[in-house]
């Protein structure tokens, strides 16, 4: 087939008076082709190309089904297509999915604002850092006042119930009061289960904490983390601001000390764009609405019962600790603080022993076993004449 350039050259040569036979020799075609081109008003567009079938074509129904199931991750769909024999690349798959993203259900939610002193949101985060020269994972408990956006951060090595309760107590003292409600997610430290009709069933310890401080416990609906979006955002804020600035700490206490200093100097003074105020400024309106702290704090120590052996020792976490020998054979109550202080109580609630948890074997207080030693030293004495009678 002649090109567009050949068509216009034939026209030009003919206008210059060239013979058809000479034009055919110069172009390299037959005289009949030259006459046909001269009769055309414009060059032919050529034969339409037959489109090649796409490698994705046999799998489009499968892809559409995944999109209908709200699976929009192209990498996940690509791996599933590979398992079904797909030989194409990722780019053609992304090009097919991209125009359909406008049909994806929107995840936008309306921001819910609360009144001053009405709500506190609680959540945990985990960060990799260095303490005392050793890399480790630390947990950070973040508690945010929903109205002022002022928040408190407390770091520890566990996210169990006792540390959850202690983090809230630390936050209440930091704010100088207690809000009306505390919103948590469905962590086992606070929520045992969540029923569609009955709502959340709270942990007994969390209920006692709420009763002690006078707040109403509330839990997010399952798979609805945006309900507590304010605290979710602050967890990320701590990770990407504080831990990006401070990379190592001398101890856990040093980490919490640095957190408090950072809260005072940086976090409380940040500008909230939607309000054009700092959290500390908005907290002036929220402070009077907080409830007064109770005279004593909630006891967050671990609780358990132990039986005193005949040698006046009890077993706690694989080690043995002494108690007064008068309690041999009795049951005693133990309390373990988050700092590792062991307290032992008798039946009537009296404190009978205190120890520091250790991994160095048996912990003994000499005064506890003094009565046992006195009983052991009481040896029966006999007259030596008895042995003379036996030998004779």
Q: What is the dihedral of CA 230, 231, 235, 236, to 10 degrees?
A: -20
Task: Report the percent of the chain where pLDDT is more than 70.
Answer: 88
Q: pLDDT-based confidence at 213, cuts 50/70/90?
A: very high
pLDDT reading at 70 higher than 70: yes
User: Cα separation of 101 and 148, whole Å?
Assistant: 36
Q: pLDDT-based confidence at 296, cuts 50/70/90?
A: very high
Task: Report the percent of the chain where pLDDT is more than 90.
Answer: 28
Report which of residues 51 and 337 the model is more confident about. Answer: 337
pLDDT reading at 169 higher than 90: yes
Q: pLDDT-based confidence at 173, cuts 50/70/90?
A: very high
Mean pLDDT score, 83-110: 78
Q: Count H helices and E strands in the chain, helices first.
A: 14, 14
Q: What is the pLDDT of residue 69?
A: 81
pLDDT reading at 372 higher than 90: no
Distance of CA 89 to CAs 19, 82, 267, Å?
A: 56, 10, 46
pLDDT reading at 48 higher than 60: no
pLDDT reading at 380 higher than 60: no
Q: pLDDT-based confidence at 164, cuts 50/70/90?
A: very high
Report which of residues 305 and 111 the model is more confident about. Answer: 305
pLDDT reading at 381 higher than 80: no
pLDDT reading at 353 higher than 80: yes
Report which of residues 295 and 195 the model is more confident about. Answer: 295
Mean pLDDT score, 39-49: 72
Q: pLDDT-based confidence at 227, cuts 50/70/90?
A: low
Mean pLDDT score, 235-254: 90
pLDDT reading at 260 higher than 90: yes
| Range list of β-strands (E), 132-185 | 134-145, 151-156, 181-184
Mean pLDDT of all residues in the chain?
84
Helix (H, G, I), strand (E, B) or coil at 73: coil
Q: What is the pLDDT of residue 226?
A: 56
Q: What is the pLDDT of residue 383?
A: 62
Pairing type for strands 341-345 and 331-336 reads antiparallel
CA 64 to chain centre: 32
Q: Read off the pTM.
A: 0.63
Q: Give the end-to-end CA distance of the chain in Å, rounded to a whole number.
A: 144
């Amino acid at each position: 087939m002649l090109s567009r350039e050949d068509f216009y050259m034939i026209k030009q040569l003919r206008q210059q008076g060239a013979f058809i036979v000479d034009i055919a020799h110069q172009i390299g075609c037959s005289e009949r082709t030259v006459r046909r081109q001269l009769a055309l008003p414009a060059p032919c567009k050529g034969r339409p190309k037959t489109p090649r079938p796409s490698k994705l074509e046999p799998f489009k129904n499968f892809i559409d089904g995944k999109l209908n199931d709200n699976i929009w991750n192209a990498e996940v769909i690509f791996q599933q297509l590979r398992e079904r024999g797909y030989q194409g690349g990722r780019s053609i798959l992304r090009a097919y999915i991209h125009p359909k993203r406008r049909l994806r259900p929107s995840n936008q939610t309306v921001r819910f604002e609360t009144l001053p002193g009405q709500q506190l949101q609680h959540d945990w985060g985990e960060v990799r850092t260095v303490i005392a020269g050793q890399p480790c994972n630390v947990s950070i408990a973040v508690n945010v006042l929903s109205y002022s956006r002022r928040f408190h951060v407390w770091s520890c090595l566990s996210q169990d119930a006792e540390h959850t309760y202690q983090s809230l107590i630390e936050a209440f003292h930091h704010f100088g009061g207690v809000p009306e409600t505390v919103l948590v997610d469905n962590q086992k430290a606070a929520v045992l289960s969540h029923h569609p009709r009955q709502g959340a069933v709270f942990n007994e310890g969390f209920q006692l904490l709420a009763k002690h401080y006078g707040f109403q416990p509330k839990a997010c609906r399952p798979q609805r983390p945006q309900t507590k979006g304010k605290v979710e955002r602050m967890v990320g804020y701590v990770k990407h601001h504080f831990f990006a600035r401070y990379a190592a700490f001398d101890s856990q206490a040093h980490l919490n000390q640095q957190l408090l200093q950072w809260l005072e100097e940086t976090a409380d003074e940040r500008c909230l764009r939607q309000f054009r105020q700092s959290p500390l400024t908005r907290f002036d309106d929220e402070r009077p609405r907080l409830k007064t702290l109770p005279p004593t704090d909630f006891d967050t120590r671990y609780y358990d019962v132990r039986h005193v052996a005949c040698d006046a020792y009890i077993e706690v976490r694989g080690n043995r600790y002494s108690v007064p020998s008068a309690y041999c054979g009795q049951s005693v109550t133990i309390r373990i603080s988050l700092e590792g202080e062991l307290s032992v109580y008798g039946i009537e609630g009296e404190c009978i022993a205190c120890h520091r948890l250790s991994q160095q074997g048996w912990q003994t207080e000499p005064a506890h076993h003094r009565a046992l030693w006195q009983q052991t030293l009481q040896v029966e004495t006999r007259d030596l004449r008895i042995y003379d009678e036996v030998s004779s």
